[in-house]
Chains A and B, each alone.
Chain A
Amino acid sequence: MTTATAVIAGVGETAYTRGTSQTVRQLGIEAVRKACDDAEIDAESIDGVIMVTDALGNADYATYLRLRDLKFHATLGIGGASCASAVGLAAAAVRAGHASRVVVVHVSYQVSGGRRLGSAAANLVQRPLHPTREIRVNLEFPHGMIVPMQWYSLHANRWLYETGADPAGMADVALATRAHAQLNARAFFRDKPLLREQYDASPLIVAPFRLFDICLDSDGAAAVLIAADGDTTSRQRNVRVLGAAEGHPDTPDDLASRPDVTNMGIAKAGPRALAQADVTLADIDVAEIYDCFTFVVLRQLEELGFCARGESPEFVKDGAISIGGRLPVNTHGGLLSQAHVGGLNHVVEAVHQLRGEGGDAQVAGASVALVTGYGDLGDGSVLVLGR
């Protein structure tokens, strides 16, 4: 067993688009090759791969990258919590000496693959598989509860009722992160600033969520290469994986019936990751928070402990989560305004920030970053990264 520090040695991203002529394989391989170029290693030397969707399998990567010897692989299944969790798993594999260069890859094909917000697919069999499918089929689909945002609206309405929280906090998240997207070359909504009046005028999709409370669908891929510190030549730009954890909600297999519908896995993951990293919330310079919905950002800030339950709308007001504010959030625009890459783009952005390569979006002096993941019925994952 090695006691090596695990680092993120390279990151790679394809263009983030809505519509592409590339195939899923082409996108995934491109992202991995870019991460290898960034880390200054040969792709053939990768010996571990962690996939966070089932779009591609380990054999696809091993074949197309001509891997010399794949020693470790995994495919994670906690929705949008998978990416942050995968980086933690890759770091653990490297520290254990199980593999030496592990790439985490996410490919999104939501637009070209035909799964979009507005698609009223008659064939529910084609729906993405969620946990405990028979509960969905028998108890939810018949009542028109079809898509995840409806589960999350159950959470939101109970949270609003229990805490009296101001739903306008959602608007502040949407506006702040759209402003950050103006500074990001890869952001889909760069050159599309969002005004409060446009937000307020946007249609309700599932109350209380409006159009601009909901993340993008995208085509594109990202890859993050984890290695042992000292293994690659570009040590100057290595980012250390200081802490990583995941947590699951109670009851794990169902949201609508759980005793506390506001329960979230991140409440368990946050303290674990911070303790591993030996940092406190006050040490966090920048936070890339999984943002499938503006509401989910608000609740993660609360469950992480940045503010009390119900107080996130106050916490995010008045520029607090903008670059230059008390806690810059989603400096790349996030899933809401950059692209939906399963949150692996949040890891990439955190790496850019810590390397001092954030460009116009650089948070001055960023040395500790927090990245979160949120998935399915409320699974949560947390990464703490540092220089």
Chain B
Amino acid sequence: MSEPRPIPDEADPLYADHLAGLRAGSLRAQICSSCQHVQWPPRELCLRCGSSELHGHRVENAGTVYTFSVCHRAFHPYFADRIPYGIVVVEVGDGATDGPLRFVGTYASDLSSLRCGVPVVASTEWTDDHPFLQWTAAS
């Protein structure tokens, strides 16, 4: 039996809301209730005002590929049968932020279509009963 896919730390409270969102099919970042700054990745303090009053915040589930990586070598046994595989950094627009929001995820479409600027849509990929963020080229 091959190695299972690496999973997030489900005991980490910082990521609980985001994972719950993935399970429900929505993309969630973090918002500061003091200054309304939206940030991702989640952090223990608001990077704009320093407040610890941070909560989950749903964002658009569509964006564009800002950059990407195509891996031809497996650095973990789970991926040994899946090379080459694509990872994307997707920029999601959201009016509440004062900077770009970027999400890392798996690229689910054909690698020949993968380049900067491609519009993509988020969805949840289920592996071993765990949810993972994946992005598919919008048609």
Contacts and interface: CB of A to CB of B under 8 A. Distances in A.
Contacts of B9: 134, 137-138
Given A135-B41, A145-B87, A150 B71 contact: yes
B52 interface: no
A138 B73 CA distance: 21
Given A143-B132, A145-B87, A203 B72 contact: yes
B43 to A, nearest CB: 8
Size bin of chain A's contact surface: 35 or more
Which of B8, B67, B69, B80 has the most CB atoms of chain A within a 10 A radius of its CB?
B69
B69 A120 contact: no
Contact of A206 (B15, B71, B77, B117): B71
B106 interface: yes
A44 interface: no
Interface in A130-177: 134-135, 137-147, 150, 153-155, 157-158, 161
A238 B97 CA distance: 54
B115 interface: yes
Contacts of B74: 120, 144
A275 interface: no
Interface stretch (A253-261, A280-288, A329-337, A372-380): A253-261
B129 interface: no
Contact of B41 (A139, A150, A205, A259): A139
A141 B6 contact: yes
A118 interface: yes
A161 B115 CA distance: 9
B68 A138 contact: no
B68 A124 contact: no
Given A122-B3, A142-B8, A161-B117, A256 B72 contact: no
Contacts of B28: none
B12 A143 contact: no
B76 A144 contact: yes
Interface string A44-79: 000000000000000000000000000000000000
A140 B88 CA distance: 11
Size bin of chain B's contact surface: 35 or more
A331 to B, nearest CB: 31
A137 B8 contact: yes
Contact of B89 (A118, A134, A141, A257): A257
A206 B111 CA distance: 13
Contact of A143 (B14, B77, B106, B117): B106
A124 B41 contact: no
A156 to B, nearest CB: 9
A144 B116 contact: no
B113 to A, nearest CB: 14
A138 B85 contact: no
Contact of B102 (A145, A147, A257): A257
Given A138-B15, A144-B85, A161-B67, A256 B76 contact: no
A134 B16 CA distance: 13
A299 to B, nearest CB: 14
Given A124-B6, A143-B87, A143-B132, A206 B73 contact: yes
A257 B40 contact: yes
B100 A259 contact: yes
B69 A157 contact: yes
A204 B69 CA distance: 12
A210 to B, nearest CB: 10
19 contacts: A120-B76, A122-B77, A134-B15, A135-B41, A138-B9, A138-B15, A143-B106, A144-B6, A144-B78, A158-B116, A161-B67, A206-B69, A206-B71, A206-B73, A207-B84, A254-B41, A256-B89, A257-B40, A257-B104
Q: 9 nearest interchain CB pairs?
A: A146-B75, A161-B116, A158-B67, A141-B6, A138-B8, A153-B69, A207-B70, A257-B102, A144-B79
Interface of B: 3, 5-9, 12, 14-15, 40-41, 66-80, 82, 84-85, 87, 89, 99-100, 102-106, 115-117, 132-133
